[in-house]
Structure 1
């Protein structure tokens, strides 16, 4: 925990003069998504509050917000922990992704579309793969799909999927086979991007649906071996 707290101290400047629970939760959300606090980690109020220079009440409100987002879980008389998802949670995340992401693609109008964020995410993934940074490939993959969702131009949808993608990262950290998990989807992102660029939305939706189905199968196969069907706690 000492190393994590030292890193958090560097985030203290991000709070500025208007320190709020929302800003603290944003910092912690990012750190959890990056695997800085892996699933099952107990979060110390004193340590994190001291590293960020915020009050106990502010930190508890941030914890409450992240618990509402299903990233943290409060266990009576034990404390607050980074959540460990159950297999059923992973399946529900992908069900939500299929509903939302495919609907976004289906609802796009005629090209051109603003695909700069998707282009950048593809290049980021390729660069990370060349460097053997497979977790970086996973991060680029999430950014690709966040950019895809953003094509809907809906702040509500962006907010919903930000939470969903953050939960998904919890699953990725448990699977811990980043190359096997992420490498196949670099080329599939490229194919999806080209279908969007050409305006063939039916083909793009088919590619996306197949992508999500295959990813779900791959993640659940490994996740079930590592966590089983219970999850939701700190095992």
Structure 2
């Protein structure tokens, strides 16, 4: 259990994001981001006292934020023990990829006539390539997540954006326990670029085929690695 705040980059640094009107939704946004970034690890117990003090919010507000994130499947409440960051089962990872394939491929299939608004995708691809050049593999993972979020955003649908935000945040719970992020994420940098170039050329059909194969291969690789960590209890920190 986390009992003290680190000297730099602690949760208290996020307090200004709450503004003058602290709400459970804003607290949930902060905690969701921290979970996605790995600040809170899968299986970690969240302390109401330390988080409430760091953010300067009431216990009731924090509990409502916990409730929202539990509904999003990022947290789990254990009776008489507290609230914990959720540990995914292998079946959860497989289901996430099924949903991703349905959503992302449908978005690309329904793009309509080119040109497509690809600025967000282009930035995500560039960010991933630069992170790889610096050997910052967690940065590569973040860029890959941003790539798929921007891909879904091509649907121009707030509901799709919200759904993908939750799905991708949940997926990162699996990423955090993988000991070798380079092996998991680096091979897909080239494939991100290939999908982007297909869409830049206006060939959404080819882009969809590449994306479907990409997601199938990523699912197979992650499930294999993740299942090994679940079986051995070898959690990366």
Report the TM-score range of the alignment, normalised by the length of the smaller protein: over 0.9
Partner of 1:35: 38
Secondary structure at 2:83 match in 1: strand
Partner of 1:176: 179
TM alignment of 1:20-169, pairs within 5 A: 20-169=23-172
Is contact 1:5-1:51 (8 Å) kept?
A: no
Alpha-carbon distance in 2 for matches of 1:34, 1:8: 12
Alpha-carbon distance in 2 for matches of 1:34, 1:101: 22
Alpha-carbon distance in 2 for matches of 1:67, 1:207: 34
Q: Deviation above 4 Å: which 4+ runs of structure 1?
A: none
Cα shift at 1:3: 3.3
The two structures have a TM-score, normalised by structure 1, of 0.95
Partner of 1:232: none
Alpha-carbon distance in 2 for matches of 1:124, 1:17: 33
Cα shift at 1:168: 0.5
Q: Which stretch of the first structure deviates more once superposed, 93-102 or 196-205?
A: 196-205
The two structures have a TM-score, normalised by structure 2, of 0.95
Cα shift at 1:152: 0.2
Partner of 2:213: 210
Alpha-carbon distance in 1 for matches of 2:41, 2:107: 31
Structure 1 unmatched ranges of 5 or more: 230-235
Partner of 1:18: 21
Secondary structure at 2:57 match in 1: coil
Alpha-carbon distance in 1 for matches of 2:152, 2:180: 26
Alpha-carbon distance in 1 for matches of 2:62, 2:79: 17
Q: Which protein, 1 or 2, shows the higher relative CO under an 8 Å CA cutoff with sep ≥ 6?
A: 1
Alpha-carbon distance in 1 for matches of 2:209, 2:100: 14
